[in-house]
Amino acid sequence: MKVTFILNGDVLRAEVEPRQNLVDFLRAMGLTGTRSGCEHGVCGACSVRVDGQVVRGCLMLAVQAEGRRVETIEGLSDSSEIADLQAAFHRHNALQCGFCTAGMLLTAQDLLTGNHAPSRADIREHLSGNYCRCTGYQAIVDAVAEVAATRVGAGIR
């Protein structure tokens, strides 16, 4: 099937198999920052943003992206939208193997977009759909909490 959507700001036209999910399609297009961890919507490694909402790339077919705006870690990195989150993750060592990290960053950005002053419990709750097997989560919570405080201080909403 033919599909047309906006991928990280650029119009993309492609031929896809109807059964191919979005994460496999994106990876086949070379956007390997989005990863497949469980293929049944639990772990969150495949998180991408579709029309501004964080979704599981393994639970959405590529053809369902028709006419939508899809954003991945590559797009958010290039636009610098989450540069502060990335820097805070780096400082706090909020990643080890890095396999979950793209999904974690997108989900953290989603939280901070909707809730400007999340408590640590809010952060933990919001990130609970993203599994990290390495860090034990605390450094991730520290990084997100720091960025939340910095953005409020800087008047960034």
Partner 1 sequence: MTARDTFVGTSVPRPNARRLLQGKGRFVGDKVLPRMLHAAFVRSPHAHARILSVDLAAARALPGVVACYDGSDIARQVVPFVGVLTHMTGMRSPPQPALAVGVSHWQGEPVAMVVAQSRAMAEDAAALVEVDYDPLPPVCDMEAALDPACLLIHPELGSNLCWERRIETGNVEAAFATAAHLAERQFVFGRHTGVTLEPRICLCDYDGSEDRLTLHYSGQVPHMMQAVLARHLNLPEAQVRVIAEDVGGSFGIKIHTYGDEIATAAVAKLLRRPVMFAADRYESFLSDIHARDHRVAARAAIDAEGRLTALDIDDITGIGPYSVYPRSSAIEGNQVLNLTGAPYRIPAYRGRLRVVFQTKVPTCQYRGVGHPIAMAVMEGLMDDLAAASGRDPAELRAINLIPDDAYPVTSAQGVRYADLSHQACLSRLKELMEYDRLRTEQAALRAQGIHRGIGLVSMVEITNPSPAFYGIGGAPIAAQDGAMARLDASGAVHVSCSVTEQGQGTETILAQIAADVLGVDPAAVQVTTGDTATVPYGGGTWASRGAGIGGEAMLRAATALKAQIIKVAAAILQCDAGSLDLTGGQVIDATGQPRISLHALAQMVYYRGNELPPGLAPELIASRHFRVEGMPFVFSNGAMASYVEVDPETGLVRLLGHWVVEDVGTILNPKLVDEQIRGGVVQGIGGALYEECLYSPDGQLQNATLADYLVPMAGEMPDITIAHVVTPTRTSALGAKGAGEAGTTGAPGAVMNAVNDALRPLGAQISQMPMTPERILRALGTVV
Quote the least distance from Cβ 58 to partner 1, whole Å: 10
55 binds partner 1 (CB under 8 A): no
User: Of 3 and 48, which has the nearer Cβ to partner 1?
Assistant: 48
123 binds partner 1 (CB under 8 A): yes
Tokens of 115: 């809730």
Q: Per CB under 8 A, which region of 36-44, 60-68, 111-119, 145-153 contacts partner 1?
A: 36-44
40 binds partner 1 (CB under 8 A): yes
User: Of 90 and 116, which has the nearer Cβ to partner 1?
Assistant: 90
Which residue pairs, CB below 8 angstroms and at least 24 apart, start in 7-13? 7/31, 7/70, 7/71, 7/72, 7/75, 8/70, 8/71, 8/72, 8/74, 8/75, 8/78, 9/75, 9/79
d(CA 122, CA 154): 21
HSE of 4, CA atoms in CB hemisphere, 13 A: 2
Residues found near partner 1 in the complex (CB under 8 A): 17, 19-20, 27, 31-40, 42-43, 45, 72-74, 77, 86, 89-91, 93, 95-102, 105, 120-121, 123-125, 127-141
